[in-house]
Amino acid sequence: MSTEAILNTVDIVKLENDMEVESFESEDRDLNDFLLNDARDYLKSLLAVTYLLKIGDETVAYFSLSNDNLIKNDSERPVWNRINRFIPNNKRRRSYPAVKIGRLAVAKKYAGKGLGKRIILAIQNMYINEPQRAGCRFLMVDAYRGALPFYQKNDFKFLTEQDSADATRTMYFDLKAI
């Protein structure tokens, strides 16, 4: 299937308690295991909501979301100043409401065809254009090292330099930047 056909065909479906995901194979075993074995428990426990990207019956990618908080780190003043620059003076706080992309993976077979980007656009759309139940200003992710260029291409920024040598790095995206 061409890249264009994939992007035109894919549906985004919320994972429900009674849904089975029978197979999913991305490059990352932990992310595969989460979807196959844990995602419904996280849903039942109100800890994360998972969304599946489906082409017909096949799950081609998924992501999960949880509420989060972007908290001021006093040792990263320039970053905080940049964040605050787009927030009116009288609304500036030490923390802002956010949503965390807890997990995100594209099946190996479909990697590099724009599905990751489609996921980011879908999440932005959920929190900007769809009816809101709570304020949410930022997207957050603890990005795997291998996925840093992907998030950078999607305009996520690093929150701190303190995690620059870690296995994951915290990144954020300001929804008002769109």
Ligand X SMILES: CC(C)(COP(=O)(O)OP(=O)(O)OC[C@H]1O[C@@H](n2cnc3c(N)ncnc32)[C@H](O)[C@@H]1OP(=O)(O)O)[C@@H](O)C(=O)NCCC(=O)NCCS
Q: Which of residues 54-73 bind ligand X (CB under 6 A)?
A: none
Q: Which of residues 114-133 bind ligand X (CB under 6 A)?
A: 114-117
What is the closest distance, in whole angstroms, from the C-beta atom of residue 138 to ligand X in the complex?
A: 16
Nearest to residue 13, comparing CAs of 77, 58, 69? 58
Q: Is 111 in the site for ligand X (CB under 6 A)?
A: yes
Q: Is 21 in the site for ligand X (CB under 6 A)?
A: no
Of 10, 15, 31, 98, the one binding ligand X (CB under 6 A) is 31
Of 106, 123, 136, 139, the one binding ligand X (CB under 6 A) is 106
What is the closest distance, in whole angstroms, from the C-beta atom of residue 178 to ligand X in the complex?
A: 16
Would the CA dihedral through 28, 169, 147, 51 be positive or negative? Answer: positive
For residues 39 and 120, is the Cβ–Cβ distance under 8 A? Answer: no
Given the complex with ligand X, which of 80 and 139 has the nearer CB atom? 139
Distance CA 123, CA 110 (A): 19
Of 65, 70, 104, 159, the one binding ligand X (CB under 6 A) is 104
Cα separation of the two ends of the chain: 31
Length of the chain: 178
Of 51, 80, 96, 144, the one binding ligand X (CB under 6 A) is 144
Strand 138-144 and strand 95-106: pairing?
parallel
Distance CA 108, CA 142 (A): 21
Residues that bind ligand X (CB under 6 A): 26-28, 31, 104-106, 111-117, 141, 143-144, 146-147, 149-150, 153
